[in-house]
Amino acid sequence: MRHILVTSALPYANGNIHLGHLLEHIQTDIWVRAMKAQGHHVTYVCADDAHGTSIMLKAQETNVTPEALIASVKASHEADFAKFLIDYDNYYTTHSDENREFAELIYRRLNAEGHISTKDVEQLFDPEKNLFLADRFVKGECPKCGAKDQYGDNCEVCGTTYNATELKNPYSTLSGATPILKTSKHYFFDLPEFSEFLQQWTTDAGRLQPAVANKLQEWFESGLASWDISRDGPYFGFKIPDTPANEPDKYFYVWLDAPVGYMASFQNLCTQRQESTGTTDPQRPALNFDDYWLSENQHKTELYHFIGKDIVYFHALFWPAMLSGAEFRTPTGVFAHGFLMVNGEKMSKSRGTFIQAATFAEHLHPEYLRYYFATKLSDKVEDMNLDFENFMQKVNSDMVGKVVNIASRCAGFIVQQHDGVLSSNCSEPDLLADIMRTGDEIAIAYENREFSRAMRLIMQCADKANEYIDAKKPWAMAKQQGLEQDVQDVCSVAINIFRQLMVYLAPVLPELTDNAKAFLNLDDLSFASRNTLLLDHKINPFKPLMQRIEQTQIDAMMAASKQDLQVAPEVNTGIGATINASPMPQTASNRSKQATRQTAIDEGTDASGESSDNSDSSDSSDRFIDFADFSKVEMTVAQVVACNYVEGADKLLQFTLDIGRDTTINVFSGIRKFYEPQQLQDKKVICVTNLAPRKMKFGISEGMILSSGDPKTGLVVITLPDACQVGDKLA
């Protein structure tokens, strides 16, 4: 028996649970249930991420205390997750005594070993709110093109990146006041000291998915930089201990204590179990914190984090470095998943596809979503599309038309003609043995997080059962005298296969499985139970186990989503992670800029990449260029080798472009709101290749992809036909 601790990323406590969150938590729950069904001891904990400036400000807006706000949100989150049958052993909060104690302990240990340093940082300060301003809270005029109302890190009109201190006529979006420059001491965690350790750790077999490990190598090649772990008050969080008495209040940045919440939630569970010592409940055995978190025990127990790909850097760089430096164990594995699209596009409020968990549960059974996600999830870091037409077809075809149909077609003959008793012998031992053997492959697929493969194998078994029933035609045999035993034998084989399918589907469909237990008159549907047949066994009358999905249900859900968003527009848009994601690890290319900026809540304000300057001038000498000027522009046919989201930026896509001559370049483009990465994969585009490389927040951009349209309302990337050769110049 393996002893395993599992976590999902902590939802941020400032909004409702939506389908994006559910993707990750359903994935985790399926894996946990599958491992438990195979006989392992698995503990699953999570918590709300309850700190940060956003929560403080939202509490002020709603005229409640931050504590009251996060308590209300936590109750809502737990209720939503329960609707979708997410079975945590403990769901806690980062605003807890346990979390404070572990955060302080880790900090003190890191400090004692010389891993913490301080540095003065100059930032913009709101004199009315008495608050240092993150880039998203500052607007002004672009220092290059003069465009108004640009955020504090980049211009959406000309694409220039800058420090917030460079804005002309800046103002605070919180109060409208003119910010002032103010210097403050910040505390930094010396991440570069752990570079060698992290390079080894991230490449250990099974630790990370290959795509994630390869991506992280880019940051090692650029060079890691120290990580700002402090924020100035006012701030809702934990104060940094042992600071000088004459210093203003310093708080842990939310991303320092957020992952510590995994430890705190588990410690809280251990305390609960210890207080209930003496109970005989095998589902709630005693737990010891040290067994799972001390470094010397990391080969005895296992620790896995399920996360979204947007927070890989924190879980695969900062978090293991912190743990290692503080003498705690590091994760056995970190499993990342992609983002969720709906009907082929980003979730949209206007189209009603930004669906909250509660809204889905009001109109459709949550297990429909669990099954559909399972058919799409793999061990890859791939984005998933929830296509509602395909969703309806797959659930109706697979679950209603194949699996449940096996029991509904055969149960009546057993109950009505044989008093509900199955045959005392199996008339098709080879068929049953084949389906039992398939269970070994299904178990492996579950453990490897290849849920889509597991579902395909299960449906193949269902197909074999239905083919068998169609071939034998028990309804026709039942009309003939003397074939009663044959009918019982055929239907008993079918019911046994149905039982096997319920064993295999139990991690995905726990409620359906419980109802099937009642029908089958069984208490156990663990993986081990599949190795025995139901012979001379009495079943109960069949009751419908699952209903077909109707289009009207989907339409009503989407309509309700539009209404919900009109009433409550402020929702958490994070996918399997906190909404206020901090910047990615600083590298040599952006270290100096990041050191002078507060980056507490930068999501949504990152550099927008290249777009044309739409400014106009009445002076014709400024509007026209001569041929010599034009001839300087080198436009090259390029092919998109890779296109990816930029973690921490809501406007950028990152391109790797093949420009010919065995040369690839890196380009950032501010078109994320108009394109998903896969839409541009392998496309041939026009790239300006002789622009001077530009240092941006997330790396170096070495060119510009040409597009047309308005950067505020719609940009269309200019793509070329296949006949165009990569590397050719446009003339």
**Three-class DSSP labels, 465-480:** HHHHHHHHCHHHHCCC
Mean pLDDT, the chain, integer: 87
> 460 burial class (0-12, 13-18, 19+ CB within 10 angstroms)?
exposed
Report the candidate in 37, 30, 38 with the shortest Cα–Cα distance to residue 85. Answer: 30
Among 416-425, 467-476, 556-565, where is mean pLDDT lowest?
556-565
Residue owning tokens 């012998």 = 425
Q: What is the CATH number of domain 112-193+206-251+580-594?
A: 2.170.220.10
Report the candidate in 334, 456, 439 with the shortest Cα–Cα distance to residue 394. Answer: 456
- Across the range 270-297, mean pLDDT stands at 81
For residue 570, name the pLDDT band (cuts at 50, 70, 90).
very low
For the stretch 535-552, pLDDT in tens is 999 999 999 999 999 999
Among 187-196, 559-568, 675-684, where is mean pLDDT lowest?
559-568
Among 180-194, 366-380, 423-437, 683-697, where is mean pLDDT lowest?
683-697
In this prediction, residue 569 carries a pLDDT of 34
Domain with residues 386-531, CATH architecture: Orthogonal Bundle (1.10)
In this prediction, residue 599 carries a pLDDT of 29
In this prediction, residue 587 carries a pLDDT of 35
- Across the range 651-678, mean pLDDT stands at 85
Q: Which residues pair with 476 in a beta bridge?
A: none
The domain 3-107+265-376 belongs to what CATH superfamily? HUPs (3.40.50.620)
Residue 410 structure tokens: 């055969």
CATH 2.40.50.140 maps onto the chain at 620-720
- Residue 412, SS3? helix
- Across the range 225-245, mean pLDDT stands at 93
Task: Examine the pLDDT at 697 and tell me if it is beyond 80.
Answer: no
- What's the CA gap between 41 and 51, in Å, rounded? 32
- Cβ contacts of 400-405, under 8 Å, gap ≥ 24: 400/546, 400/547, 400/548, 402/459, 402/462, 402/463, 402/466, 403/458, 403/462, 403/498, 403/501, 403/505, 404/544, 404/545, 404/546, 405/466
Among 305-319, 531-545, 667-681, where is mean pLDDT lowest?
667-681
The secondary structure of residue 498, as a DSSP letter, is: H
Task: Examine the pLDDT at 499 and tell me if it is beyond 70.
Answer: yes
Phi and psi at 503, nearest 5°, equal -60, -45
Task: Examine the pLDDT at 665 and tell me if it is beyond 60.
Answer: yes
In this prediction, residue 619 carries a pLDDT of 33
Instruction: Please give the class, per CATH, of domain 620-720.
Output: mainly beta
Task: Examine the pLDDT at 600 and tell me if it is beyond 70.
Answer: no
In this prediction, residue 577 carries a pLDDT of 32
Among 466-480, 597-611, 684-698, where is mean pLDDT lowest?
597-611
Higher pLDDT, 145 or 673: 145
Task: Examine the pLDDT at 372 and tell me if it is beyond 50.
Answer: yes
What whole-number percentage of the chain has pLDDT above 90?
A: 68
For residue 662, name the pLDDT band (cuts at 50, 70, 90).
low
In this prediction, residue 646 carries a pLDDT of 83
CATH 2.170.220.10 maps onto the chain at 112-193+206-251+580-594
CATH 1.10.730.10 maps onto the chain at 386-531
For the stretch 29-68, pLDDT in tens is 999 999 999 999 999 999 999 999 989 999 999 999 999 9
Task: Examine the pLDDT at 694 and tell me if it is beyond 50.
Answer: yes
> 420 burial class (0-12, 13-18, 19+ CB within 10 angstroms)?
middle
In this prediction, residue 312 carries a pLDDT of 94
For residue 642, name the pLDDT band (cuts at 50, 70, 90).
confident
Q: Which residues pair with 125 in a beta bridge?
A: 132, 180
For residue 663, name the pLDDT band (cuts at 50, 70, 90).
confident
70 touches 93 (CB < 8 A)? yes
For residue 563, name the pLDDT band (cuts at 50, 70, 90).
low
Among 150-159, 213-222, 396-405, where is mean pLDDT lowest?
150-159
Helices then strands, counting H and E runs in the chain, come out as 24, 27
